[in-house]
């Protein structure tokens, strides 16, 4: 049966199980948008900026485990996707970005709204396509989804010229494909797994670092089995949060620049580091030369390019985390490490990073803790980037798997609001909280309109300190308090929310916090709370740039005046 390229694309998406597309229309996509009503199975969510389409697709992919799809027109529409694509690339999120392109006769002639989006996105996609023949469209879509979800997940872009969407074809969607060089190693080498088991069984002070790979592989039970069987403490990366229950006795929180002091000290003193689905980025390791100086390293990851890239590795194991942990657990001998845990517990006692001081004002740490208490941990938190991201990582206990959705590798301000849209649409029954900074949310605040249009019951908590908080903190600690262009003249967020049709309240004191959170939770639709927090509150601990993990700064202790 003869069909247009637009019809072929829609039917290919349905074949791949796509239910939601986050997009924004434009001239070269009019044939596709005119075709959408023929396919009611495809839900189109109209975002208010193309960057937000990519972020929403990214968060949708993380929360559901499916491939997220975003759509933008040619020129500025496609370039607006770039930040979101780069974010998905660094955080290993499977998305397919579809862009419109000028008609094929005009490519390379600087036509209106023409950009070489495939050339632009080469460094930030696993692969990309420019479709020059409608007969190749179906196969390219099949390949794109396969590549996005296979191995280490990531973004793929398909650029489709206007005339290809209009052209006719009899092409059919292929049942399967085989790509040269695309074979992913799913099961670790038995000899390497045996070596790892031997090191674990012999270790006196082992520690596990669990990363996003555990969340991607959904290897929660397998990780827990390893930790409990061998009695090994578990720390996580920022994107690994939620892969191991944080109220578990073996949990020692997040490591790294703003990780727990006792987690960092544990890494430094360990004799064996078992790194699972993480890539040893600089925020996790501090100065590489000082990382785990006395430890042997086991590194489990599906991407062989990550093995040995940043940290020397004694036992590399390439494959899917879940499969490897299953095989590894069979060779683990149950044991205890009482002396090791005594040291770790002493460090936890000596460095109580999660204590919240008493204050009449609205402390951001207290806000996050009270959201945890009110939800009893049964929530998905989506954050932007800045101080609020770190407080959300530190003061909410993530026992629920995969319950923190945030921008890690790229550190993208503005991720929170469109990310919350994607997470809520992906899991409509989840209690989704958007944790925002007053600087971060203004990057993408227009998505309040999307929330209203889609009737999403997202709760939005703005930690409003009147600054670009994390940059201001660095200026305070490392630039002698020279605050240059970090103070914000923020708008009235309550009035802005109400202008979009979202009820909102402001909380300025400690006594306002719990009632405001409860009011938000009692309301069935979207709700915004503007928490006016202490303006110069800092995130601690912090590992200064160029320092080792154990060279952290903690909350300054109050000076005691002498009576003499």
548 domain-assigned: no
Same domain membership, residue 116 and residue 10:
yes
Count the neighbouring beta carbons within 10 Å of the beta carbon of residue 122. 12
Spell out where 85-193 has E strands: 95-101, 127-130, 156-161, 168-169
39 domain-assigned: yes
Structural domain of residue 273, as residue ranges?
190-350
102 vs 125: CA distance, rounded Å? 21
Same domain membership, residue 521 and residue 376:
yes
197 vs 134: CA distance, rounded Å? 52
41 tagged catalytic: no
Same domain membership, residue 383 and residue 307:
no
Judged against a pLDDT cut of 90, whether residue 557 lies above it is answered with no
Spell out where 398-480 has E strands: 404-405, 432-437, 459-464
Same domain membership, residue 345 and residue 203:
yes
540 domain-assigned: no
Spell out where 24-119 has E strands: 43-46, 68-72, 95-101
Could you say which of 11, 16, 50, 416 is catalytic?
Answer: 50
Mean pLDDT of 206-221: 98
pLDDT of res. 558: 58
Instruction: Render pLDDT for 105-145 as a digit per residue (tens, 0 to 9).
Output: 999 999 999 999 999 999 999 999 999 999 999 999 999 99
pLDDT of res. 182: 63
216 vs 62: CA distance, rounded Å? 8
For residue 158, give the nearest of 176, 135, 142, 177 by alpha carbon: 142
Same domain membership, residue 277 and residue 253:
yes
412 vs 304: CA distance, rounded Å? 26
Judged against a pLDDT cut of 90, whether residue 555 lies above it is answered with no
Mean pLDDT of the chain: 96
185 pLDDT band (50/70/90 cuts)? confident
413 tagged catalytic: no
Same domain membership, residue 247 and residue 127:
no
Residues with Cβ < 8 Å from 542, sequence gap 6 or more? 257, 258, 473, 477, 552, 553
Structure tokens at 540: 């601690």
Among residues of the chain, what percentage have pLDDT more than 90?
94
Same domain membership, residue 268 and residue 222:
yes
229 domain-assigned: yes
pLDDT of res. 559: 52
Could you say which of 162, 265, 322, 326 is catalytic?
Answer: 162
Same domain membership, residue 377 and residue 324:
no
The CATH number for 233's domain is: 3.40.50.1220
Instruction: Render pLDDT for 467-500 as a digit per residue (tens, 0 to 9).
Output: 999 999 999 999 999 999 999 998 999 999 999 9
521 tagged catalytic: no
Phi, psi of 159 (to 5 degrees): -105, 120
CB 94 within 8 A of CB 67: yes
CB 237 within 8 A of CB 326: no
The CATH number for 465's domain is: 3.40.50.970
Could you say which of 19, 36, 113, 309 is catalytic?
Answer: 113
Could you say which of 38, 41, 112, 498 is catalytic?
Answer: 112
Could you say which of 257, 278, 443, 470 is catalytic?
Answer: 470
Secondary structure (DSSP) of 281-311:
-HHHHSSGGGSSTT-EEEEEES-GGGTTTSS
510 vs 519: CA distance, rounded Å? 15
Judged against a pLDDT cut of 60, whether residue 562 lies above it is answered with no
260 pLDDT band (50/70/90 cuts)? very high
Mean pLDDT of 405-422: 98
Domain termination site, one of 319, 350, 381: 350
Same domain membership, residue 343 and residue 385:
no
Same domain membership, residue 401 and residue 368:
yes
pLDDT of res. 179: 83
564 pLDDT band (50/70/90 cuts)? very low
Judged against a pLDDT cut of 90, whether residue 312 lies above it is answered with yes
Number of domains composing the chain: 3
335 domain-assigned: yes
Same domain membership, residue 195 and residue 143:
no
Supply the pTM of this predicted model: 0.96
Same domain membership, residue 164 and residue 29:
yes
164 domain-assigned: yes
For residue 385, give the nearest of 547, 238, 541, 214 by alpha carbon: 238
């Amino acid at each position: 049966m003869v069909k247009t390229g637009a019809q072929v694309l829609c039917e290919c998406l349905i074949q791949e199980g796509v239910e939601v597309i986050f997009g924004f229309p434009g001239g070269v996509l009019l044939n596709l948008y005119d075709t959408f009503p023929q396919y009611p199975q495809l839900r189109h969510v109209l975002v208010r900026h193309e960057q937000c389409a990519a972020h929403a697709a990214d968060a949708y992919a993380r929360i559901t485990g499916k491939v997220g799809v975003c759509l933008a027109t040619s020129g500025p529409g496609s370039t607006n996707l770039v930040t979101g694509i780069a974010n998905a690339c660094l955080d290993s999120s499977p998305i397919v970005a579809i862009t419109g392109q000028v008609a094929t006769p005009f490519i390379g002639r600087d036509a209106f709204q023409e950009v070489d989006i495939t050339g632009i996105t080469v460094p930030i996609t696993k692969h990309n396509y420019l479709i020059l023949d409608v007969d190749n469209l179906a196969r390219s879509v099949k390949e794109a989804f396969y590549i996005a979800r296979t191995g280490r997940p990531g973004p793929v872009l398909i650029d489709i010229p206007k005339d290809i969407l209009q052209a006719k074809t009899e092409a059919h969607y292929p049942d399967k494909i085989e790509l040269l060089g695309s074979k992913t190693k799913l099961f670790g080498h038995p000899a390497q797994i045996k070596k790892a088991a031997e090191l674990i069984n012999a270790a006196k002070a082992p520690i596990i670092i669990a990363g996003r790979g555990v969340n991607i592989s959904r290897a929660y039970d397998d990780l827990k089995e390893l930790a409990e069987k061998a009695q090994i403490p578990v720390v996580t990366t920022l994107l690994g949060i939620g892969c191991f229950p944080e109220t578990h006795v073996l949990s020692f929180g997040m490591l790294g620049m703003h990780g727990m002091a006792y987690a960092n000290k544990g890494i430094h003193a360990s004799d064996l580091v078992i790194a699972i689905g993480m890539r040893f980025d600089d925020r996790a390791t501090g100065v590489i030369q000082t990382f785990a100086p006395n430890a042997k390293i086991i590194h489990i990851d599906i991407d062989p390019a990550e093995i040995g890239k940043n940290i020397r590795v004694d036992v590399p194991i390439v494959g899917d985390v879940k499969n490897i942990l299953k095989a590894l657990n069979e060779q683990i001998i149950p044991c205890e490490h009482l002396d090791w845990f005594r040291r770790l517990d002493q460090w936890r006692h000596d460095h109580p990073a999660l204590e919240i001081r008493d204050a009449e004002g609205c402390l951001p740490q207290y806000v996050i803790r009270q959201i945890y208490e009110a939800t009893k941990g049964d929530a998905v938190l989506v954050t932007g980037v800045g101080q609020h991201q770190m407080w959300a990582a530190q003061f909410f206990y993530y026992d629920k798997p995969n319950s923190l959705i945030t921008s890690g590798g790229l550190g993208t301000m503005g991720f929170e609001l469109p990310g919350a849209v994607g997470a809520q649409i992906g899991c409509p029954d989840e209690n989704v909280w958007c944790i925002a900074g007053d600087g971060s949310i203004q990057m993408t605040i227009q998505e309040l309109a999307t929330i209203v249009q889609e009737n999403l019951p997202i709760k939005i908590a703005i930690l409003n300190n009147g600054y670009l908080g994390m940059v201001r903190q660095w200026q305070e600690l490392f630039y002698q308090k020279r605050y240059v262009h970090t103070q914000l003249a923020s708008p009235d967020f309550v009035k802005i929310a109400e202008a979009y049709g979202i009820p909102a309240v402001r909380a300025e004191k400690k006594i306002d916090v719990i009632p405001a959170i409860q009011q938000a939770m009692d309301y069935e639709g979207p709700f915004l709370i503007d928490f006016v927090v202490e303006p110069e509150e800092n995130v601690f601990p912090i590992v200064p740039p160029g320092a080792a993990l154990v060279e952290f700064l903690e909350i300054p202790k109050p000076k005691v005046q002498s009576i003499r």
